[in-house]
Structure 1
Amino acid sequence: MTTYRRDIDMLRDRRFSLLLAARTISVLGSSFAPVALAFGVLELPGATATTLSVVLTAEALPMVAFMLVGGVIADRFPRHRVMMAGEALNAAAFACLAAMLLTGWTPLPALVTASACSGIAMAVLFPALTGIIPDVVPADRLQTANALLGLGANSSRVAGLVLSGATVVLIGGGWALAVSAAMFATAAVLIAALRLTPAERTAGEGHSVLADLRDGWREFVSRQWLWVVVAQFSVLVMAVQAAHGVLGPLVATERLGGAFAWSMILAGEAVGMIGGVFIAMRLRPRRPILVATLLTAPTGLPYLLLGSGAPLWTIVVGAVVMGVCFDVFGVLWSTTMQREIPAESLSRVSSYDALGSLMFGPIGLLVAGPVAALIGPEPALLGCAAIVTLSAVAALLSPGVRGLRAPEPEPVAVTGTDTDTDTDTDTDKVPSH
């Protein structure tokens, strides 16, 4: 049996297949939702860009505010039930938004309330998702499981990129939101079918929320590799948000021909993320966080090319490289967290990871416009590329990042004449970018 065939063989596991299907469908719903919500709100009588901004902010702020609480909940209760509740809340929120748009009853407070419920749902879902994977698959299959989940999620993002706009045009924003709600509901049903037994999930003790958060914080700060890379990503994500959200579209509009060019760049990134899955399945570095951090350095390549006036095709290639690097990073990062952090604290630690990584993203969006007006979007993009690279270099100065080693793999049983080639890959075999 070849190693890839052994990876695909995981799909025969009923519980993993249910989790994979639920995650893939949920991400497809999430890919539909932003386009459907944006155009649905903007089509409302009297709606302006400010209206849309208020509705989107109402979703983003609760997601950040409740992320740590979501981690506590996911560590206290069976994670499949927490995920089921999050998907169900998302389905209810988008069903309400769809109903409001379809009936024409769209008071702003109601739109804001429904959007806030969606943000809370995402804050509950993310920490539970990180923690549930070790509950479903054995430790020696974690990296393969993360890669396959990434393949499903990335494929859904590509499909959403292609289908969401067409769906809004054909059936309208309200019905497109109803489609998203149906996808979230389907994901909730699939997760409900996981039926993890109590023996596979340790019941949470009766601590206060603050005590649980303190325990999670101690686990987080006790691992240098963890908090250093999260600090790196707080800066990296700020630059990426500025470049992806504002500066890139500006340059695409001014120099590359507009929305089509930007869509090609985003599609290149998505294709790279799908291709990165197959690399992530096979890559077994002895020092996974060192390799993962090295791979973040080239992610500024498309910004460097955009800012230096390169032709579109080279920028698309740079976006493919970016997608590959981010996907492999994500698989190595998730797998290392799941191996190194105790199961009873994993969701809380992942919530600190998410909060720390994303907290400066809104600042990037906020300052990108004024900086572009002051020095121009191309120099600003070059600055974003420099920030991405320098943040990687700074993280590599940490002994914890460079020194963390993966456990030695356990030998795999060989059947017949087939052999398994799933061996460790030393870091000197990984190209330095």
Structure 2
Amino acid sequence: MALGWAANRVAGPADVGLIVAAGAVPRAVLMLGGGVIADRFGPRRVVIGSDAVRFGVIAAAAAALALTPGPVWLLVAVAVVFGTVDALFMPAVGALPPRIAAPDQLARIQGMRALAVRGGNTMGPPLAGFAMGVSGPEAAFALAALLFGASLLLLLTVRTRPQETRTDAAATAPRAKGTARRDLVEGLAFIRGHRLIGPLVLAAALSELGFAGPLNIGFVFLTEERGWGAAGMGWIVAGFGVGAAAGALLLAVLGRLPGAGRTLIVSTLVTSACIALFPVAPALGVTVALAALAGLAGGIAGGLAQALVQTATDEAYLGRVTAVTSLAGLGLAPLTFPLFGALVAHGGVAPAFLAGGVLSALGMVVCLGSATVRRAELA
């Protein structure tokens, strides 16, 4: 929000979009390399180092905006550097849970993490708006820098146990360190050859690509077609958020669900069905209820998928596996937005949502074809 507001002071609408999106390119391009670095140097070290850089970049941006109007090149540089560092931070922080907790706690951690993210996404915009109302975007950047500083202090308290190597037949022993390219190729080969992780990663990517368009821009078209306006869209988004938070809370409290593989498949199919049914819901209240159900089922499925993957992954590959799973949502999913918009323009809202639901369900066809996924259980 602060970056977009600062960009709007010195650039036109088209340039604002380009400035805000500038960080997405290095994040997507470098994400897999970030996984290699996390595995080479350890996730804790990479998380702390990258978060320190993020703190420094945002603090410097706050100081620069307080002294200057914020030239376009400065704002682009902030977005690009932040996106580049994100490509290091995200695989590393995703690889941390198995290094700090026992396998039977991973689902609970994923639920708690999802709740934290949901809470941050809810509280962040009002805080940014308040800060910008007081003293402009420089105040919002300063507040963000304080929050990054606090997160850095918290991360410094985290302690990880020594890396362990799995010895079961489903895992591959780590090789001696070679080139970064070799490490990346070995990580991809590990994912492709693993009977549980390979299908789950592919299924999650397909489902993420199916969800992305409807959940990010589809509600705009749906509410416009129905005449519900911005208030209607707000209710739908809120319903989804409440459902997702409930799913995360369920995992955080219970710690595990029986028949994790089957539960993951069913909950994702429920979310896929909700996506396909949004355009045919007869009233706003029904649409909000569908959104809440989609959020609940999607939150459960996402947490279970992450916990299953982390439980099964050899710790030597955690960073690279996390990078691949993050790439689908953060790098590839936004590429579906123009396609979804084209489907709406040429076929209407209902066919576009149906296509998203079908693509999401195809991921579960992959899982249904894998006996390993169907029988998967959490510790």
Give the TM-score normalised by structure 2. Answer: 0.87
Q: Deviations over 1:238-260 (max 9, x none)?
A: 33222233221122234243222
Is 2:374 the partner of 1:399?
no
Task: Report the secondary structure of 1:224's partner residue.
Answer: coil
| Counterparts of 2:266 and 2:109, CA distance in 1 | 23
Give the Cα–Cα distance (whole angstroms) in 1 for the partners of residues 312 and 324 of structure 2: 15
Deviation at 1:63, TM superposition (A): 0.8
Q: Alpha carbon RMSD of aligned pairs, Å?
A: 2.7
The structural deviation recorded for 1:386 is: 3.1
Percentage of matched positions with identical amino acids: 24
Change (3 A) 1:206 1:85: same
- Aligned CA distance change for structure 1 residues 138 and 272 (closer, same or farther; 3 Å): same
Q: CA deviation at 1:162?
A: 5.0
Question: Match of 1:141?
Answer: 105
User: Are 1:95 and 2:59 an aligned pair?
Assistant: yes
Counterpart residue number, 1:118: 82
| Secondary structure at 1:66 match in 2 | helix
1-side partners of 2:301 and 2:113: how far apart? 14
Partner Cα separation in structure 1 for residue 330 and residue 197 of structure 2: 15
Which of 342, 349, 352 does residue 380 from structure 1 map onto?
Answer: 352
Task: Say if 1:38 and 1:52, in contact at 8 Å, map to a contact too.
Answer: yes
**Corresponding residue for 2:168?**
none
In the TM superposition, what is the alpha-carbon distance from 1:176 to its structure 2 partner?
A: 1.7
- Deviations 1:361-411, CA, capped at 9 Å, x for gaps: 13211222222222223432233233323433343223332233445xxxx
In structure 1, the residue matched to 2:19 is 55
* Aligned residues of 2:46 and 2:92 also touching (Cα < 8 A): yes
What is the Cα deviation at residue 200 of structure 1? Answer: 5.7
Tell me the CA shift for residue 209 of structure 1. 0.8
Distance across 1 between alignment mates of 2:163 and 2:201? 29
Q: 2:6 aligns with which of 22, 40, 47?
A: 40
- 1:234-273 to structure 2, matched below 5 A, reads 234-273=205-244
Question: What residue in structure 2 maps to residue 326 of structure 1?
Answer: 298
- Structure-2 change in CA distance of 1:379 and 1:200 (3 Å): closer
Instruction: Quickly say closer, same or farther: Cα 1:174–1:241, change in 2 above 3 A.
Output: farther
Distance 1:38 1:378, change over 3 A: farther
Preserved CA contact (<8 Å) 1:302 1:316: no
Match of 1:207, SS state, is coil
**Alpha-carbon distance change, 60 to 404 in structure 1, aligned in 2, over 3 angstroms:** same
- Determine which of 77, 95, 101 is the counterpart of 1:131: 95
Q: Is 1:341 matched up with 2:313?
A: yes
User: Judging changes above 3 Å, is the alpha-carbon distance between structure 1 residues 143 and 379 closer, same or farther for their aligned structure 2 residues?
Assistant: closer
Is residue 2:192 matched to residue 1:221? yes
| Residues 201 and 86 of structure 1, relative CA distance in 2, 3 Å threshold | farther
Q: Deviations over 1:325-361 (max 9, x none)?
A: 2221222122212221111211111112222455431
Asked whether the 8 Å contact 2:131–2:143 carries over to 1, the reply is: no
Q: Cα gap change, 1:196/1:233 in structure 2, threshold over 3 Å: closer, same or farther?
A: closer
Report the secondary structure of 2:256's partner residue. Answer: coil
Q: CA deviation at 1:298?
A: 1.8
Task: Say if 1:80 and 1:196, in contact at 8 Å, map to a contact too.
Answer: yes
| 1:370–1:165 Cα change, 3 Å | farther
In 2 relative to 1, CA 170–378 (structure 1 residues): closer, same or farther, beyond 3 Å?
Answer: farther
Deviation of 1:73 after TM superposition, in Å, equals 1.5
Higher mean alpha-carbon deviation, 396-405 vs 107-116, is at: 396-405
Aligned to 2:95, the other structure's residue is in SS state helix
Question: Matched residues in 1 for 2:359 and 2:316: separation?
Answer: 35
Structure 1 residues 277 and 59, CA gap change in structure 2 (3 angstroms) = same
Distance change in 2, residues 1:83/1:283 (3 Å): closer
Residue number in structure 1 paired with 2:183: 212
Choose which of 184, 187, 191 in structure 1 pairs with 2:148.
184
Q: 1:320 to 1:160 in 2, by over 3 A?
A: farther
Structure 2 alignment gaps of length 5 or more = 166-173
C-alpha contact (below 8 Å) 1:229/1:395 kept by paired residues? yes
**Does the Cα contact within 8 Å between 2:243 and 2:295 map onto a contact in 1?**
yes
Q: Which runs of 5+ in 1 are unaligned?
A: 1-34, 408-433
Q: Is the 8 A contact 1:76 1:205 kept in 2?
A: no
Amino acid at match of 2:232: A
Q: For residues 403 and 246 of structure 1, what CA distance do their matches in structure 2 show?
A: 35
240, 251, 267: which one aligns with 1:295: 267
Structure 1 distance, partners of 2:284, 2:128, is 24
1:317 aligns with 2:289: yes
| Alpha-carbon separation, structure 2, partners of 1:166 and 1:368 | 34
Q: Tell me if the contact between 2:38 and 2:46 (Cα under 8 Å) persists in the aligned partners.
A: yes
3-state secondary structure, aligned to 1:113: helix
* Preserved contact between residue 275 and residue 294 of structure 2 (Cα < 8 Å): no
Contact 2:46 2:89 in 1 (8 A): yes
